Amino acid sequence: MNTSQVATVVADAASVDDAIASRFSCRAFLRDKPVARETIAQILDVASRAPSGTNTQPWKAYVLQGASRDSLADKVCAAHDALYADPSLAEQYREEYDYYPTKWVSPYIDRRRENGWGLYGLLGIAKGEKDRMHAQHQRNFRFFDAPVGLMFTMDRILGRGSLMDYGMFLQNVMVAARARGLHTCPQAAWNGFAKIILPHIGATEGEMLVCGMSLGYADVDAKVNGFHTPREPAANFTHWLE
């Protein structure tokens, strides 16, 4: 056992809480404000302390900057445009695992709708403006202008529990980023384009795409970054047993 882990005292609980509470899906970054490679490495290193079943540590991270970032964005945006023009191509772009349910029920569908129309409403995109919705959705594939794109994969041989482990790792990445003044946007939007992404990043045939993530400094003046989703109070989902 690492005695420093046992003995460490977190003296400033408020800062830990602030790092968690201030995390949100940032949708506008400062493209011209780079993130140091050392900082990215520190974030990934501390995030690796996430728990995983029998210490399997299923995460694999690919960091895209510069030309590799831009060329991937171009490839996926072209595929996204083609899919928009011809929806029959959807069969070519299937997610490898079900991120969302096949059938939506309340309260989840209500929250999903609130999220979507809240974002589009803030941006002045009205219901039925499909071209504008498509353009906004495509911002995902430009990493919302973040200078750093991250792609996360895991070996297909692993079980469903490894996805739960992965979620804890991803949360660590996002909280560690906040501790360094950075923001993030976790993105399942990339998953349908895995057949483009995996060869681009040099992943092996045994890997599957878990999600992407944008990382950088938030554009504090961007209207879209004023969108923050509500949360149910803990009292609504907690059951106390005595």
Average pLDDT for 55-61: 98
**Whole-angstrom Cα distance, residue 166 to residue 241?**
29
**Whole-angstrom Cα distance, residue 14 to residue 179?**
12
Q: pLDDT exceeding 90 applies to what percent of the chain?
A: 95
One-letter identity of residue 227: F
Cβ neighbourhood burial of 207 (10 Å; 0-12, 13-18, 19+): buried
- Asked if residue 195 has pLDDT above 90, the reply is yes
Q: Which two tokens stand for residue 56?
A: 């399997």
In the numeric block, the tokens 């977190």 are attached to: 10
Per-residue confidence band for 3, with pLDDT thresholds at 50, 70 and 90:
low
Dump pLDDT digits (tens) for 75-132: 999 999 999 999 999 999 999 999 999 999 999 999 999 999 999 999 999 999 999 9
Q: Interior CA angle at 42 toward 19 and 231, to 5°? A: 25
**Whole-angstrom Cα distance, residue 179 to residue 101?**
33
Number of Cβ within 10 Å of residue 15's Cβ equals 12
**Whole-angstrom Cα distance, residue 231 to residue 1?**
37
Dump pLDDT digits (tens) for 161-179: 999 999 999 999 999 999 9
pTM for the complete prediction? Answer: 0.95
Domain boundaries, the chain: 17-96+140-227
Q: In this structure, which topology does domain 17-96+140-227 adopt according to CATH?
A: NADH Oxidase (3.40.109)
